[in-house]
Structure 1
Amino acid sequence: MTDVPQETLADATAVLHSALAGDSDAVVGTFDAVVDRSGVVGAYDVAWCLAATMVGDQVPVGAWTLDFPDIDDAAYDARWVARFVSAYANRDVDTGEALFGAALADGQLPDCLLTLAGSAVATLRHRAS
C-alpha cells in the first residue's frame, strides 16, 4: 500500500492492538470513531489496511486466488473476509468496495470487520511463530 494517510494507519494499528488484546469492544469502538470522523469511506480504508497487513506488500502482479476450503459453507463474515482479502491481493478495488457496500447493506459490516481484525491478528501470530 502506498500513500495511506497517517491517520488511517494509526486507526488500523489501534484496531490491531485491540484485536491482539482480545478486546472486541475496542475494535468496534475504533471503527465507530473512524465512521464518526471520516464516514464509511474511512472504515473502508482501515479495512483495506488490515487486508494489506494480511497479504503483505510484495504480491506479484497477476491474478490470484486464495485457497479457502469449504468457503461456501462458512458464515457470512468469514466468506466476506476471504473475498475482501482476495480483492486486495488482486488489487481489485471495485470488488473490495462492492463487498464493503454489500456487507453494509446487509447489516453484516460490524461482524465482517471484527472477523477481518481477528484474521489479521491470526495472520500476524502465524508469521511470528
Structure 2
Amino acid sequence: MTDIPQHALDDAAQVLHCALSGDSDAVVGTFDAVVDRSGVVGAYDVAWCLAATMVGQNVPRGAWTLDFPGIDDARYDKRWVARFVSAYVNGDISTGEALFGAAIADGQLPDCLLALAGSTVATLRHRAA
C-alpha cells in the first residue's frame, strides 16, 4: 500500500522470527535497533510491514470498518493494534501515523509494537492450522 524500504522488510522478518520463537526481549531489541538506526520512521515502516503480513495479500478494495466488540474496554496496546491494522487495511497512512504518534506521546509504543508482533504471529499460526 506504500513503498517500504528493503531494510524495513528485513527488520520485519527479524521481528517475526523472534516473535515466532517466543523471544519478546529480542522483538523489543530488534525494534530498538531499528529506532537507533532509522528513527521512529523506521519503526513505523516495520510496523506497517507487520500489519501487511497480518492482513495478507488478498484484501478486497473498499472501505473497511473496525469490528472489535468491547474495543473501548480493551487494553491500550490491543486497541492500538486493532486501529493500526484497520488503518493499514484502509490505506489510511495519516491515521496510522497519528496512532504511532499517540502511542509515543502516551509512552505505550514498545507495548503496542510487541502486541502487534504477537498478533501477527497469532494470525500466521491460525492460517497455518
SS at match of 1:118: helix
Determine the structure 2 residue equivalent to 1:99: 99
Identity, % of aligned positions: 83
Unaligned runs of 5+ in 2: none
Determine the structure 1 residue equivalent to 2:31: 31
The CA deviation at 1:2 is 5.6
* CA–CA distance in structure 1, aligned partners of residues 114 and 106 of structure 2: 15
Determine the structure 2 residue equivalent to 1:59: 59
Unaligned runs of 5+ in 1: none
- How many residues align? The count is 129
* CA–CA distance in structure 1, aligned partners of residues 94 and 46 of structure 2: 16
* CA–CA distance in structure 2, aligned partners of residues 68 and 54 of structure 1: 16
SS at match of 1:113: helix
TM-score (ref. length: structure 2)? 0.96
> Which stretches of structure 1, 4 residues or longer, exceed 3 Å deviation after superposition?
none
Match status 1:9 vs 2:12:
no
The CA deviation at 1:32 is 0.3
* CA–CA distance in structure 1, aligned partners of residues 52 and 28 of structure 2: 19
* CA–CA distance in structure 2, aligned partners of residues 28 and 38 of structure 1: 15
RMSD of aligned C-alpha atoms?
1.0
